[in-house]
Structure 1
Amino acid sequence: MTPQTLVQPVSPEAYLAQEEQAGDRHEYIQGEIKPMASGTPTHNEISGNLYIALKLGLKKQPYRVFHVDQRLWVPSQEIYTYPDVMVTRKPLVLQEGRKDTVLNACLIAEVLSPATKNYDRSEKFHYYRSIPEFQDYLLIEPERLFVEHYHRNSPKQWSLTEYTAIDEIIRLESVNCDIALTDIYADVEL
């Protein structure tokens, strides 16, 4: 019988200190540090397209739009992560004592990958749902035309709308904005 090695949990403070020095991004999940998967050119194109569409759609509105490198802290779940695209309402709420970690995401989008899609749909979505301001969640398939849009109807009720046609428009109630699938998948070969 081989003895098992116990992994000591890492404190949030130790994670943040390490992340400031790291060249790559890492998620912090309840005391564990996990490297984040690298994106493909298609993944980058889609997340960039969505960022631009939201930035233009929310121009002069009371929102901030972030892309890829903005860290999000989910305190009730003890999770630090970097959503592909995230929208917050102004004023921006930062973690106490930090200038680089957001708390108040109202919309989050993840471009799926084979390595993370199950996590993005299950545990990660569960973690995000504990954010009081969180209202809209987009899961975008990069290899085929398919977007899942979850919208919070009440504190414990979410509705799902699936988009599969290039001429469809996603209505994002939480930020009063429409996003066309043609914009999300612009310059992407499917």
Structure 2
Amino acid sequence: MAMGDPLPRDMTVDEFLVWQLDQDERFELVDGRPVPLRAMTGASNVHDVVTTNLLGLLWAALRGKPCRVATADTALRTKISSARRPDVTIDCASPERTSYEARHPVAVFEVLSPSTRKIDRFTKLEEYRRHPALRHIVLIDPDAVSAKHYHRSAGGEWADEDLNDPDAAIALERPPIRLNRADALSSWFIAFSFAKPVPTFAENALEAAGIRLRLGDLYERVEIPR
């Protein structure tokens, strides 16, 4: 798309994913209209460090497991005409060379920045909560060194928990991945439950993994405010 060309409107997610292949920058699809991802960023170095730490910790934790960690290059379909790009997604579908979206996402992580804080905490959050496969949504605030974890019960109800201390910990369900807030910021405990139909082999393998990550490791090389 040449600079100055009008953006298309009324696109479906499938049309958008094909259209995105010919673009020089990443977009999200919002109610049928592509929105440049850069218009939602303005992220600081701290945002980048926390996101990179989170990716590294989850990659190591999920290595050799049926689920994988994905970056914002992977789209997440949230409505018929909307597709988001979470900072980090855990997808439990087998990767396909010709697929550009998460096909069975179980968890998403958003690292807040000044320009995305309102969208992430309200608009995107509600879209994520309506996604039938998602079981965990984690919003990380690097400036406040805090996080909020939303988790869905087996009955489909959502609950949330605030983390406001670098050593605060929360226990989720499978897989038993553990993140410490003072590590991407030093003690979260996270494990993921799945929406059906998650392959049984994936569920069993992750349940037995016993992975431990410290949330504090997310903040490695970041000076944590006291």
- Whether TM-score is above 0.5 comes out as yes
Cα distance in 1, alignment partners of residues 53 and 172 from structure 2? 16
- For 1:47, which of 39, 44, 51 is the aligned residue? 51
Inter-CA distance 187–20: structure 2 relative to 1 (3 Å threshold): same
List alignment gaps of at least 5 residues for structure 1.
Answer: 1-6
Q: What is the Cα deviation at residue 138 of structure 1?
A: 0.5
Which segment is superposed worse, 131-140 or 119-128?
119-128
Instruction: Spell out the pairing of 1:25-104 with structure 2 (5 A cutoff).
Output: 25-36=26-37, 37-38=40-41, 39-74=43-78, 76-92=79-95, 98-104=98-104
Inter-CA distance 188–170: structure 2 relative to 1 (3 Å threshold): farther
Cα distance in 2, alignment partners of residues 86 and 100 from structure 1? 13
CA contact (8 A) 2:13 2:77 kept: no
Inter-CA distance 20–90: structure 2 relative to 1 (3 Å threshold): closer
TM-score by length of 1: 0.83
Which segment is superposed worse, 157-166 or 60-69?
60-69
Which segment is superposed worse, 12-21 or 78-87?
12-21
Q: What is the Cα deviation at residue 65 of structure 1?
A: 0.8
3-state SS, counterpart of residue 89 of structure 2: strand
Q: How many residues align?
A: 180
Instruction: Spell out the pairing of 1:140-159 with structure 2 (5 A cutoff).
Output: 140-159=140-159
Alpha-carbon RMSD across the aligned residues, in angstroms, is 2.3
CA contact (8 A) 2:93 2:102 kept: no
3-state SS, counterpart of residue 153 of structure 2: strand
Instruction: Spell out the pairing of 1:6-17 with structure 2 (5 A cutoff).
Output: 8-17=9-18
Inter-CA distance 77–126: structure 2 relative to 1 (3 Å threshold): farther
CA contact (8 A) 1:135 1:174 kept: no
- Cα deviation code 1:116-173 (max 9, x no counterpart): 1121122211211232220011001021211000110145421111111112234342
- Cα deviation code 1:65-116 (max 9, x no counterpart): 1123222223x44321211010012435x6xx94222221100000011221
TM-score by length of 2: 0.71
Question: In the alignment, what sits opposite 2:219?
Answer: 185
List alignment gaps of at least 5 residues for structure 2.
Answer: 1-7, 182-215
CA contact (8 A) 1:48 1:67 kept: no
3-state SS, counterpart of residue 179 of structure 1: coil
Aligned-partner residue type, residue 218 of structure 2 = I
Cα distance in 1, alignment partners of residues 152 and 128 from structure 2? 12
Whose strand fraction is larger, Structure 1's or Structure 2's? 1
Q: What is the Cα deviation at residue 175 of structure 1?
A: 2.6
- Cα deviation code 1:29-69 (max 9, x no counterpart): 12111111333211111111111111222333321111232
Which segment is superposed worse, 83-92 or 13-22?
13-22
Question: In the alignment, what sits opposite 1:165?
Answer: 165
Aligned-partner residue type, residue 55 of structure 2 = Y
Cα distance in 2, alignment partners of residues 155 and 118 from structure 1? 28
CA contact (8 A) 2:11 2:81 kept: no
CA contact (8 A) 1:42 1:188 kept: yes
Cα distance in 1, alignment partners of residues 35 and 123 from structure 2? 14
